[in-house]
Chain A
């Protein structure tokens, strides 16, 4: 068999194949639900209700989507330049560490100044976190996939060390957790009495900013060129390594903002379970969005809905909530396949 590029993918194909991908995902998950001894349709209804059936559910979904928008953007930016950042999880935790270090009284500033200062510091720290692997890639030819993956484990142990050491809350009853950040460093809630916070608004602003950079600036053009064909980009006079460094700084910074937003907006302090894999799920979000920054927002809300909905469903129907992870992973594989099939035709000889 051979793959042949279709001259111009028709609109119908661009819609039909992703719908097919969703259908395949639903079939796979239905089989698993059946295996778990429940019937699929009521389970899917429960997931949908749990994700968007009430104001409470919808706000929970948007709250869960907030860190995923940041990590999704981080991955989308990096993958566009073919910088394989699988380390968003580590960058997220570093963002949380910086937020706690600066937010627990180290900087006596009022909120309107303190929060931007923390955000800048968080982004710099996260960016440097990815700059290391990027330099190892360009200088020594070390594959950044492996280094960023290994750094996830190193950073988590580092955070664990901090939480049992210098950052440990003396009032924490021995739990490995940090002090709460000061009120001036907290992101306010958007609706009183709900967990939904201004981190979501910052995430939307970030998505528009990244969309603008990618589409309207020279840097964005250079990043796409480097991702598409580094040799050609170099030949055209684009400083490929420099562009990769800038990409690393932006991507790492975005992932770190996820940690900032979770600590300053939602949790208030840093613990070892700050992220249930937001960094890895960000990869799925970015791919579902086809690396489009605005698409990341939609994809993050969709993926967050599956997780929040599955939690609610699991309590009601007894199907393990890991079904959400299976659904998300399956949709990643079916979606990349669908996108490829909509652009290429398979010729059987």
Chain B
């Protein structure tokens, strides 16, 4: 098989959509936070916490969907902490975000070691299975990629639609966007910027955690240390790449994942001539390049990273 033919295999696109799924959840989560004016650098740690919370719920005998719910709850709790420190207290979003990532990661590793003190190989759970949509999954190439995935992948796409609909078609979405553009106007409408931003950070963090849970409950079946491996930071780049729009961000996530799936296959073709680390570097390099290309024309939320004080001009 040559490098070009890969693009026409179903397995390549199946892998691309699978790799994109956690990124889609977490990117939507970050997008909601940033649209409301809060940069959430806790994303990396919240994904770790979500990955563990979902997995351990199932490991302890819980239902898979219960695992997803617990992961979302864990994410929302870290969101509550992040929001409390950055929204009413107005602390530096950079410092608090890094702090949340360190806290969520270390708390997760600590809990893992307490729950499973003496394991050498991580125990497995029965993860989400693929569910083929009748008829649609028979379409060549696109069918298996889009319509023969796990329920969590379908949920990722539904999430994008819901986020886009809420942001652009509902009063709530208007309030969220306004909180990130012109918080004083929101306050003038008699709404609370604090409440809107807190809510956005909590919902966004819950989505990030579900993105993490996808890794342990759908892509793999056990929890490893360092399994999130910078995906959270990549999602922050994807939000910029998608210029803070759900549809564009979705496209970015799929493009990115396709590239990731492609490099793995290219690696097999080239057969060790090029060091494998070069391929592994590509996703991160690509993220930086995407930022460089997009940053200039990006219209970021005007009040992003600016704490709002009631009655302040």
Contacts and interface: CB of A to CB of B under 8 A. Distances in A.
Contact of A143 (B90, B117, B280, B291): B291
Contact of B275 (A165, A287, A318): A165
B306 to A, nearest CB: 13
B47 to A, nearest CB: 14
Interface string B220-263: 00000000011001101100100000000000000000000000
A140 B295 contact: yes
Interface in B268-313: 275, 277-278, 280-281, 284-285, 287-288, 291-292, 295-296, 298, 309-311
A333 interface: yes
Interface of B: 41, 81, 85, 88-92, 94-96, 98-100, 102-103, 105-107, 109-110, 113-114, 117, 194, 229-230, 233-234, 236-237, 240, 275, 277-278, 280-281, 284-285, 287-288, 291-292, 295-296, 298, 309-311
A141 B89 CA distance: 27
B98 A86 contact: yes
A109 interface: no
Nearest to B107: A326
Given A158-B281, A337-B89, A150 B287 contact: yes
Given A142-B295, A143-B291, A153-B229, 19 more contacts: A3-B89, A3-B309, A37-B114, A84-B94, A136-B291, A136-B292, A141-B295, A141-B298, A146-B291, A150-B284, A153-B281, A157-B277, A157-B280, A160-B277, A326-B106, A326-B110, A333-B96, A336-B92, A340-B89
Interface of A: 1-3, 32, 35-37, 84, 86, 136, 140-143, 145-147, 149-154, 157-158, 160-161, 164-165, 280, 283-284, 287, 318, 320, 322-323, 325-326, 328-330, 332-333, 336-337, 340
B281 A142 contact: no
**Chain A to chain B: the 4 pairs with minimum beta-carbon distance, closest first:** A325-B106, A320-B113, A329-B102, A329-B103
Contacts of A142: 288, 291-292, 295
B281 A147 contact: no
Nearest to A326: B106
Contact of A154 (B98, B114, B285): B285
Contacts of A141: 295-296, 298
A126 B194 CA distance: 41
Q: Which of B194, B275, B298 has the most CB of A within 10 A?
A: B275
B114 A164 contact: no
B48 to A, nearest CB: 12
Contacts of A326: 103, 106-107, 110
A326 B106 CA distance: 5
A141 B292 CA distance: 8
B95 A287 contact: yes
Given A157-B277, A158-B277, A333-B96, A150 B234 contact: yes
B99 A325 contact: no
B284 A330 contact: no
Contact of A320 (B110, B229, B240): B110
Given A32-B110, A147-B288, A328-B102, A336 B295 contact: no
Contacts of A284: 99, 102
Contacts of B94: 84, 145
Contacts of B100: 333
A329 B82 CA distance: 13
B145 to A, nearest CB: 27
Contacts of B103: 326, 329-330, 332-333
